[in-house]
Amino acid sequence: MGPLTLIALIAGLSLFGFFLGRWKSIAMAGSGAPLHSRPNHYGSFVLVWTAVPALVVLTLLVIARPLILDQTIRSHLPSDIVTSGDVSLAISGVEQVADGLKAVTPDEYENIHLGVVSARRIFADHGIPLGGDVSPYQLTAAIAANDTERLITLTTTTAVVGALALGLFLAFIRIKPRLRARNSVERVVLTLLIAASTVAILTTVGIVLSLLFQALQFFSMVSPINFYFGTVWDPRFAAAGSSESGQFGILPLAWGTAYISLFALLVAVPIGLLSAIYMAEYASPKVRAISKPTLEILAGIPTIVYGFFALVTVGPMIRDYLALPLGLGNSGNNVVTAGVVMGIMIIPYVSSLSDDIITAVPRAMREGSLGLGATRSETIKRVVLPAALPGIVGAILLAASRAIGETMIVVLAAGVAANLSANPFAEMTTITVKIVNQLTGDLEFTSPQTLVAFALGITLFVITLGLNVIALTIVRKYREQYE
Amino acid sequence: MSEVQTPAPFKTSRTPDAAPRPTKVLTRDVKVVYGQKQALHGVSIDIPEKSVTAFIGPSGCGKSTFLRCINRMNDTIVGARVDGTIELDGVSIWEPSLDVVELRARVGMVFQKPNPFPKSIFENVAYGPRIHGLARSKADLEEIVITSLQKASLYNEVKDRLDEPGTGLSGGQQQRLCIARAIAVSPEVILMDEPCSALDPIATAKVEELIDELRANYTIVIVTHSMQQAARVSQRTAFFHLGHLIEEGPTDHIFTNPLEQRTQDYITGRFG
Amino acid sequence: MTEASAALPAAQATVVRKIDIGLQRRYRAERRFRAYGIVALSIGIACVVMLFSSIVSRGYTAFEQTRVTLLVDFDPKVIAPNGDRSPDAVMSGDAFRFDELISTALQKTLDIEPDDEDGLYDALDLLSKGSTPMLRKLIADKPSLIGTRSAVDFYATGDVDAFIKGTIHADVPESQRNIKDRHIKLIDRLENTGTMHLAFNTGLFTFGASSRPELAGVGVAAVGSFMMMLVVLTLSLPLGVAGSIYLEEFAPKNRWTDLIEVNINNLAAVPSIVYGMLGLAVFINFMHLPRSASLVGGLVLTLTTLPTIIITTRAALKAVPPSIREAGLGIGASKMQTVFHHVLPLAVPGILTGTIIGLAHALGETAPLLMIGMKAFVVNYPTTPFDPATSLPTQIFMWATEPERAFSERTSAAIMILLAFLLAMNSIAIILRRAFERRW
């Protein structure tokens, strides 16, 4: 039976178990015994103990299946292939043959076995094209693989059916009036809830492991020193089999990222912070009610929209009115364009968080200052802002982390040339742009040209993670102070 | 205890409670620690069956904390640790065979602020019987709801609007709804944590009257900050101060002839 | 200040000097500070306005499209030379016979002499290269047309469309524009007879990717996005809610739960492109799921959305007052029963609001989808989550880099469509929040 049939069987039997358990508990209650839990709990008790062990068995065997098959095929490969290194290619070749063998009739199988007809021809009759003819090792390996597969399928079916029957039987006979069915079911539900809450941790672990694994492969080809201190980014193209590896210096990319983020902060911090101050301290409730959500619209707009805006509106404007007259550049794709648009994007991150932080400053502090005869702006500058400073710094760091990790705006508006230049109207590129460049198109997970993206990725992850941890700690400490 | 006891007439309590009743809840040396702070320092008290016992004392004296030990509501507070012996009908409430849920079904609770579920009046009362499987049929359930509302003297006021949300009732009605909700699971003991503190005098009078009626069938423990209320509704009174049980006895004794100076001071309004 | 005090008697002057605390200067500073705030806020709002007006002014024209209505003679001799009028017969055989139908119709409409080949080619230049397959499909779908004479709407090419809409100007030197003077003459004639006209662009909503702008639309991309949203919803809502319930209602306060908490807050701020790399490494390279499939896109977006949903769900659960929990526990409901019967239902509006906002974010997410290859040229509607699909934002990205003016217009239109979806989702979220807002 296939996994889907087994799942259906599990679903059906556990549902049956639910009604069985329910029925038994009602019958027991009818004979006068006071029940610990409600009949539905007894039903769920049987359901859980029928389904869970069977599902666990099924999951384990489904995961084990490809690993065992892989091992079987591997053990049948001739030693010259194992040493030549093209193992994965050989394995997929055998898998193809194994698939083909499943389609043939016993007579045809006999013919192939005797070598009367070539397997390739018979497979072709069944609509399975093969690249070349089947070599003897492939045939034996494929037969062994198919045998193992049948065995695994049989084992899986037996194990799942056994687990189902055993679970159902044991759970059913355990039903007694004093059985704490509810507690037992609730423990299972709690386990599920805990499992769900660990998905977040698993995501982080997954990110770190997957990036690290590929990045380490990259560092085995290119030394980390060349990567982190190289000033030239020239990866070349990933031509198959070419030994040319190019140069992978991250510094131009890091500089571009930093330069663009700096421009973004130059735009976003004054606008965001002053807007937040105005909205929190001066604006009438009416103005606030309109302006706050209006600014927050900016946070809801997808970054691809900003990218397009930069590409078709801001870029040409900056080229025609700033870069060309100043004689500093002739392209709309430059640091200023990307920085300005990114700045617009992060205005709401600065303004919203700063607004929250400023309004969290206790009223008493403001009144203390106003009561001494300070004007409002003096109160803000001398009392409110200093008190809110750590929180605002946190907000700015969070915004900076956004800017560093932002992708679509820079992909469309910053350019692709890796430059180490101080000219803000020069084309520059960032870490994220290069990740996109290296990972779109044909991928080869063995070439440094592809793997370098993961080294860039883990670097980006570590930088943003560091900024976030610092920012969130500052903001949290700040909040606790006034709670 | 002094040997001379003045046989004062029962002026305070509405109905005299002559014969000594069997103990329903027994506690010995109950201590509660919240984190670092000790909230109760060894409380021992016997709460008699089918009567009203009032806990009085200034705020923060531990009376509510002690009340919440009896149905293990303190379990829900992080960092709270309870030691000592608490027995319900001679069985420890921490006995492994006694489920906390079962305990709370037997020892109901009414809280300081009325907290009806944001559901209809009917659903509020029906919820308990439903989860405990007390009703065999829909008609059964309806009967339980109606009797509970009647016992809580609320039925006549709400009989035409059982489908309306319980949160739409007045404060006093909400509190009686909460009492009806507690009664509906047929508890043996009802714990009331300052049930009238959020109510106006008229609603308070109604709830007090109700408590007096319920005494016939339930063991009631009430925490109150109002000495008059304790005097009006209870048969026995216990005075708590700074986490200690100072004195406990028949209500009229406590109010007319307390043994301890601190009780005297509190009752006469010198502190608290 | 000083002048005024000088005019006063000496005794009073000292008093005045005492309270002379630079009020004018300070009020000027006050006004300046206030003005900075107003200016900053206005710039912020101006950015919003500029962004939207830039998109709308570029994109609104794409909702109309130039059509050419020709009276086509569905000649059975041409369409079904061997008399077989079945759809299969129409779809097989020589494609040029349908060209002939169009040419004949054009010759009649524009009075082109049958032997004037250049004239005919100039006229054919105006029609989309997709006209022939379109006509063929039309006949196959409706064989009753054969033998009749009826009007058929053909698409004009993207360049003609741009010319009609005025984005290609006639005063540019002829060599620099795709529409030549001889085309303009024909266009004028077609326009004057009403044969060439603007009509609502339904194709924008139904077509898929195409290298010809007049035949490109966001329909296929929208279906891909919709499928991904379904995957995201079915995975992230149950997972996020279950995880939040544990963390908020059951979890003990210890280092482990602290770690989860910090971790979730950080995940919410991890650059989305990193999630895309995770998807590429795990789902495609390790688990061998198909590239460009909406299932993989949905899985990646689920991971990006989960932190948002967990954070908002926890806030919604926290907002349910503890008295509700006490009430449930007080009548002997178990903790699990209290949470699922009372607390969770009360938190539902907040959870839904958070989920919708999370979905809206996921809908606009582009970078992680590029990583898993959803930047594909997809012409056909995906039918299962395993089919190659593309999404609205990646479609926009692909169009954004096309040089043709007609694509630029469509990019803006596609952005408007995307923003309309986001606006609708956010409005629903706001309405939900208003409708169920509960003050305790």
Three-state SS string across B148-207, please? Answer: HHHHCCCHHHHCCCCCCEHHHCCHHHHHHHHHHHHHCCCCCEEEEECCCCCCCHHHHHHH
- Chain C contact present for A444, CB below 8 A: no
C389 with C229: CB under 8 angstroms? no
Query: Are residues C55 and A303, on separate chains, in Cβ contact within 8 Å?
Result: no
- Chain C contact present for A464, CB below 8 A: yes
**C chain contacts of residue B103, beta-carbon cutoff 8 Å:** 332
Query: Are residues A436 and C336, on separate chains, in Cβ contact within 8 Å?
Result: no
In chain A, the residue whose alpha carbon lies closest to the alpha carbon of B133 is: A38
Cα gap A398→C142, rounded to integer Å: 60
- Chain C contact present for A212, CB below 8 A: no
**B chain contacts of residue A36, beta-carbon cutoff 8 Å:** 99, 102
- pLDDT at position A286, please? 92
Chain A neighbors (3+ CB pairs < 8 Å):
B, C
Tokens of C189: 């004639």
Strand partners of residue B244: B241
Q: CA of A478 to nearest chain B CA: how many angstroms apart?
A: 24
Between the CA of residue A168 and those of A8, A454, A463, C225, C242, what are the distances in Å? 16, 48, 52, 42, 27
Cα gap A138→A101, rounded to integer Å: 11
Residue of A274, A402, A461 with shortest CB distance to C36: A274
- Chain C contact present for A405, CB below 8 A: yes
Query: Are residues A39 and B131, on separate chains, in Cβ contact within 8 Å?
Result: no
Cα gap C208→C195, rounded to integer Å: 27
Residue of A35, A39, A183 with shortest CB distance to B99: A183
Query: Are residues C330 and B109, on separate chains, in Cβ contact within 8 Å?
Result: yes
| DSSP code per residue over C21-35 | S-HHHHHHHHHHHHH
In chain B, the residue whose alpha carbon lies closest to the alpha carbon of A35 is: B133
- Chain C contact present for A57, CB below 8 A: no
Q: CA of B107 to nearest chain C CA: how many angstroms apart?
A: 8
Tell me which residues of chain C, numbers 351 to 390, contact chain A at a CB-CB cutoff of 8 Å.
360-361, 363-367, 370-371, 373, 375
Cα gap B264→C137, rounded to integer Å: 101
Tokens of C432: 């939900």
**A chain contacts of residue C365, beta-carbon cutoff 8 Å:** 302
How many CA atoms within 13 Å lie on the side-chain side of A384?
28
Examine the pLDDT at B32 and tell me if it is beyond 60: yes
Please, what are the averages of pLDDT over each run of 10 residues along chain A (483 residues)? 85 92 86 80 91 90 85 82 69 79 77 74 73 77 87 91 92 86 90 91 91 90 88 70 69 93 95 93 90 90 94 91 86 90 94 89 87 87 89 92 93 86 88 90 78 93 92 85 72
Q: CA of B119 to nearest chain C CA: how many angstroms apart?
A: 9
- pLDDT at position C9, please? 52
**B chain contacts of residue A28, beta-carbon cutoff 8 Å:** none
B214 with B150: CB under 8 angstroms? no
What radius of gyration, in Å, describes the C-alpha atoms of chain C?
Answer: 32
- pLDDT at position A154, please? 92
Residue of B100, B106, B111 with shortest CB distance to C326: B111
Cα gap A151→A169, rounded to integer Å: 27
- pLDDT at position A237, please? 61
Mutate to test the interface with B, among A28, A38, A184 (most CBs of B within 10 A): A38
- Chain A contact present for C415, CB below 8 A: yes
- pLDDT at position A84, please? 65
Helix (H) or strand (E) segment spanning residue A116: none
Nearest to B245 by CA among B55, B36, B14: B55
- pLDDT at position B19, please? 58
**A chain contacts of residue C37, beta-carbon cutoff 8 Å:** 274-275, 277-279, 281-282
Task: Give the number of other Cβ atoms within 10 Å of residue B136's Cβ.
Answer: 9
Tell me which residues of chain C, numbers 269 to 288, contact chain A at a CB-CB cutoff of 8 Å.
269-275, 277-278, 280-282, 285-286
**C chain contacts of residue A302, beta-carbon cutoff 8 Å:** 363-366, 393, 418, 422
Helix (H) or strand (E) segment spanning residue A27: helix A3-30
The answer to which of A317-326, A391-400, B74-83, B163-172 has the lowest mean pLDDT is B74-83
Chain B neighbors (3+ CB pairs < 8 Å):
A, C
Complex confidence, ipTM: 0.88
- Chain B contact present for C333, CB below 8 A: yes
- Chain A contact present for C26, CB below 8 A: yes
- Chain A contact present for C422, CB below 8 A: yes
- pLDDT at position A414, please? 87
Query: Are residues B117 and C330, on separate chains, in Cβ contact within 8 Å?
Result: no
Mutate to test the interface with B, among A37, A178, A179 (most CBs of B within 10 A): A37
A172 with A16: CB under 8 angstroms? no
User: 3-state DSSP call for residue C283?
Assistant: helix
- Region for B242 from its dihedrals, namely left if φ exceeds 0, alpha if ψ lies in -120 to 50, beta otherwise: left
**B chain contacts of residue A39, beta-carbon cutoff 8 Å:** 133
- Chain C contact present for B117, CB below 8 A: yes
Q: CA of C327 to nearest chain B CA: how many angstroms apart?
A: 6
Tokens of B215: 């005494």
Cα gap A49→A262, rounded to integer Å: 58
Distance of alpha carbon C215 from the chain centroid: 18
Mutate to test the interface with B, among C254, C258, C323, C331 (most CBs of B within 10 A): C331
Tokens of A374: 């300070």
- Chain B contact present for C252, CB below 8 A: yes
Residue of A35, A180, A183 with shortest CB distance to B133: A35
In chain B, the residue whose alpha carbon lies closest to the alpha carbon of C333 is: B101
Residues of chain C whose pLDDT is less than 50? 1-8, 13
For residue C45, give every residue at least 6 positions away whose Cβ sits within 8 Å of its Cβ, in sequence order, or none.
A291, A294, A295
Examine the pLDDT at B2 and tell me if it is beyond 60: no
Between the CA of residue C417 and those of A101, B125, C48, C392, what are the distances in Å? 51, 50, 17, 9
- Residue C141: exposure state from Cβ atoms within 10 A (0-12, 13-18, ≥19): exposed
**A chain contacts of residue B131, beta-carbon cutoff 8 Å:** 38
Query: Are residues B133 and A39, on separate chains, in Cβ contact within 8 Å?
Result: yes
Query: Are residues C330 and B104, on separate chains, in Cβ contact within 8 Å?
Result: yes
Residue of B99, B132, B133 with shortest CB distance to A180: B99
For residue C375, give every residue at least 6 positions away whose Cβ sits within 8 Å of its Cβ, in sequence order, or none.
A440, C369, C390, C394, C397, C398
Cα gap C235→A2, rounded to integer Å: 24
